[in-house]
Structure 1
Amino acid sequence: MSDLLIKCLSYSQAVRIYVANTKDIINEIGDRLNYFPSALAAMGRVLTVGAMIGSTLKGNESVTVKVEGNGPIGLIMVDANPKGEVRAYSQNPHCHFENPDTHKLDVRNTVGNRGFISVIKDLKLKEPFIGTVPIISGEIAEDFAYYFNISEQIPSAVSLGVLVDEDSRAIHAGGFMVQLLPNASEEVIEKLEEKIKQLPPMSKLLSQGNTIEQIAKLIGDETTTIIETLPLEFKCSCSKERFARGILSLGAEEIKQMIEEDKEARTICHFCGNEYYFPQNELNTILESASKKRK
């Protein structure tokens, strides 16, 4: 089953529900960059919520989500857009924690319980929208529910789950995001809170065989309607030209030193693992451009 995201309206159009399946994208990134199990689970949770936030945007808008905790994984960053294109980066994908009592993956200790979450939306205006809140849990779902409630002032519930096997492959992965619309009554809020309280964790909902459509119905009421189905895909925007511009920005002196010492350059994209090779003749061309720029 390919990764998908659905957007729904429920409770007579008083509640918006997003549900996503993200297993394939998480495994593609995990395979490309050799993620360890709890790092894969942490990155996967951030990627899932990033994809859901991306789906709230329009046209050529985009979002960058950053989780900067004090745990060993360091910075986790996700780029997403309303076309369903998403990519993710972790500073240290080679870390792993398990709870010694339950032997379950320990995302909180992987991410850390102190730090910040930032959501940067490029809405094609003069300045991007930037919302930042402290990490309150490190489990990711609770942190993003807090972000929506505090920074965007949208009452929200978030559930995220990534079930990983011993070979560091996601078996099930996805999440849901539920947001109240301004017309939600107290009665609707009470019903919704009760339903969400009774739901098992997201990874269990998926491992029980529920589809994302069935999960949306478990959250919503009989008025639940799917208003959009969005295929999700891993897409990295890196290119050799982009890395060449990065080398150019180093300036003539540093490029000259690079040529004298190494005679070549190899650059690796941290999002997808692609390597770009610049032999000496290409570095000489970049050096010429840098020298002209300086004059």
Structure 2
Amino acid sequence: MRNYVIKTLAYNKQVRILFVKNTEMLKKICDNKNMGRLLKIALGKTVSITSLISAILKDNQRISIKVNTSSKNCKIFADADALGNIRGYISDELLKLPLAEANNMSLEQLIGDKGYLQVMKDLGMNSIFTGITEMPYGNIVDDFSYYFKQSEQIPSLFSLNIVLDENNEIISSRGILAQLLPGASIDIIEDIKNIINDNQLLLSNPNSNIAFKEVPNLLFKDVDIMGIHPIQFFCGCSKDIFYPMLYSLNKEELIHSYENNKAIEIVCNVCGKKYSFNKDEIKRII
């Protein structure tokens, strides 16, 4: 199991603390030649937070997350279900940003002063909850802590450690989500924050010999391991999904491909899988 969330209870069962290790999954999701360091960090943070949240979903519940930057159509998406199927991607407008320009920006500059979070939870039984909050921090991580406090009234703390090498390749991704349970003192969150800050080397060192599954007990004295939640990248795309995109092409283009026996190829912008439509398939659309 290379990607997973460890579910724990701590502080005399007053706090739910989740630990995620998803390095291999982020490598796959961020494997795009048009994605520089900044976009990998932005997408990686969004996907890691979604991965942590997936571990508290139940039954057939789903969550969809959208990070909206101040620039129109420049967005970051991620969604997950209770089975730990995760996917994430960024809009074409962000992918079109020149690498030199993107790499000279900070994450706060990318988000801008009008960025906002949009979270939709499908709770099943036709029950959908949508929450929207501003992004006062502009770094995604603290903005999601702010979201849970404002929108769901759950004091929460996110902490992520995504490490890239000199070639801008992801070599380590670990994260923590702490949420107070009803009746817990708000002071506990500050205590957890201090513990995380004092142990950054343990959380961020990709060369550590310490197994990640040992980390909860190394950080917290009073912790009960409640289980391990496997997570995996799963796009869910299929050829049928992309048929409507062919209908958006003009008829002359379709006829040209048909008469010249040229297949039309469509690439999924989430997983990169290619779907080819041959002459006979194009003819049916015409």
Q: 1 CA distance for matches of 2:27 and 2:70?
A: 25
The corresponding residue for 2:45 is: 45
Q: 2 CA distance for matches of 1:210 and 1:67?
A: 34
Q: Is residue 2:86 matched to residue 1:86?
A: yes
Letter in structure 1 aligned against 2:266: T
The corresponding residue for 1:97 is: 103
Q: Is residue 2:129 matched to residue 1:129?
A: yes
Q: 1 CA distance for matches of 2:243 and 2:172?
A: 38
| Structure 2 unaligned blocks of 5 or more | none
Would you say the 8 A contact 1:51–1:84 is kept in 2?
yes
The corresponding residue for 1:293 is: none
Quickly say closer, same or farther: Cα 1:261–1:135, change in 2 above 3 A.
Answer: farther
- Residue 285 of structure 1 and its aligned partner are, at CA, apart by 2.5
Letter in structure 2 aligned against 1:231: P
Q: Is residue 2:272 matched to residue 1:277?
A: no
SS at match of 1:31: coil
Q: Is residue 2:233 matched to residue 1:227?
A: no
Letter in structure 1 aligned against 2:159: S
Letter in structure 2 aligned against 1:163: V
The corresponding residue for 2:141 is: 141
SS at match of 1:283: helix
Identity, % of aligned positions: 28
Quickly say closer, same or farther: Cα 1:202–1:232, change in 2 above 3 A.
Answer: farther
Q: 1 CA distance for matches of 2:72 and 2:168?
A: 17
Q: TM-score, normalised by structure 2?
A: 0.84
The corresponding residue for 1:150 is: 150
Which string of whole-angstrom CA distances, capped at 9 and with x for unpartnered residues, describes residues 72-107 of structure 1? 9921101112222111111224643257xxxxxx33
The corresponding residue for 1:24 is: 24
Q: 2 CA distance for matches of 1:237 and 1:174?
A: 25
Mean Cα displacement is larger for which, 6-15 or 107-116? 107-116
Q: 2 CA distance for matches of 1:36 and 1:182?
A: 41
- Residue 228 of structure 1 and its aligned partner are, at CA, apart by 1.6
Q: Is residue 2:254 matched to residue 1:259?
A: yes
Residue correspondence of structure 1 range 113-124 to structure 2 within 5 A: 113-124=113-124
Quickly say closer, same or farther: Cα 1:27–1:113, change in 2 above 3 A.
Answer: farther
The corresponding residue for 2:237 is: 238
Q: Is residue 2:204 matched to residue 1:204?
A: yes
Q: 2 CA distance for matches of 1:206 and 1:107?
A: 23
Letter in structure 2 aligned against 1:18: L
| Structure 1 unaligned blocks of 5 or more | 100-105, 288-295
Matched residue count: 276
Q: 2 CA distance for matches of 1:87 and 1:238?
A: 11
- Residue 189 of structure 1 and its aligned partner are, at CA, apart by 5.2
Q: 2 CA distance for matches of 1:173 and 1:240?
A: 32
SS at match of 1:44: helix
SS at match of 2:167: coil
Residue correspondence of structure 1 range 53-68 to structure 2 within 5 A: 53-68=53-68
Mean Cα displacement is larger for which, 138-147 or 278-287? 278-287
Q: 2 CA distance for matches of 1:71 and 1:242?
A: 28
Would you say the 8 A contact 2:180–2:186 is kept in 1?
no
